[in-house]
Amino acid sequence: GAREDYRQIIEEFNDFIKLYEMALLELQSDIEIIELEWQTRYEYSPFEHIKTRMKTPQSLHKKIERKGVPFTIEGIRDNIFDIVGLRIVTSFEDDVYKIYELLKGRNDLKIKRVKDYIKNPKPSGYKSLHLIVETELILSEGIRWVPAEIQIRTLAMDFFASTEHKLQYKYNTKELSQEMKDELFEVAQASSQLDEKMTKVRNTILID
């Protein structure tokens, strides 16, 4: 009956999402181990902090609608690659690329797509390096490769992105006036200048 069908759909959906939850755990521990290794091996670690999140069902639904694909397991599996999200925040801009190189060398990670919003910032001024990856998940039934998005950015880029995201949310997206957008863009430029200045200071210290 309809009730049985409904129950089956929910069960299948739960199993499907569980795979992503497992991938999040896996990816998080992989990154934390890299971070710990750096801290113990070298005096300096490029990691400032790490944050993880699972996409909320609301956000997932919104994105599916925006993309115009069906809200089904297949629709989600084939079109949404950021159900698992991991953000790595660094101190300096070149640390972003240092971490990227490090991830590139791993056998348990496939880098499927790179979106470099540091070299090509978004119109908002947003900067970040986005990697669409697949992480290896070893299950009793075999190996699964599960998609995830890794965002790598500096503290200054993160300050801009997190604060601007909050404002967008507060004012319910497209409501931001041009004046506000311009002001935010200036904040993004100022954040970039902070990164440049910090790098200069560090380079001076390294040379001295």
Name residues whose C-beta falls within 8 Å of residue 62's C-beta, 6 or more positions apart in sequence: none
Interaction mask 119-158, ligand 0O2, x per CB under 6 A: ---x-x-x---x----------------------------
- Smallest gap from Cβ 90 to ligand 0O2, in A, equals 17
User: Contacting ligand 0O2 (CB under 6 A), which of 109, 161, 191, 192?
Assistant: 161
**Binding pattern to ligand 0O2, positions 73-92, x when CB under 6 A?**
---------x----------
H or E stretch covering 86: strand 84-90
* Residue 82 CB neighbours (<10 A): 18
Q: From 21, 25, 50, 52, select the one nearest 35 (Cα to Cα).
A: 50
Stretch 97-116 residues interacting with ligand 0O2 (CB under 6 A): 115
Q: Which is nearer to ligand 0O2, 39 or 79 (CB)?
A: 79
Residue 118, token pair as written in the block:
């540091």
Q: Toward ligand 0O2, which CB reaches closer, 187 or 202?
A: 187
Q: Are the C-beta atoms of residues 22 and 147 closer than 8 Å to each other?
A: no
How far is it, in rounded angstroms, from Cα 134 to Cα 111? 7
Report, in Å, the least distance between residue 146 CB and ligand 0O2.
16
User: Is residue 165 within the footprint of ligand 0O2 (CB under 6 A)?
Assistant: yes
CB-nearer residue toward ligand 0O2: 77 or 115 = 115
Structure tokens of 195?
């990164």
185-207 in b/e burial notation, b at 16+ Cβ within 10 A? beebeebbeebeebbeeeeeeee
Please tell me which residue in 149, 164, 175, 179 is annotated as part of the active site: 149
Residue with Cβ nearer ligand 0O2 (53 or 202):
53
State whether residue 18 is helix, strand or coil: helix
- To the query of whether residue 149 is one of the catalytic residues in this protein, the response is yes
Q: In the complex, which residues of this chain contact ligand 0O2 (CB under 6 A)?
A: 55, 59, 82, 115, 122, 124, 126, 130, 161, 164-165
Where in the sequence numbering do the catalytic residues fall? 149
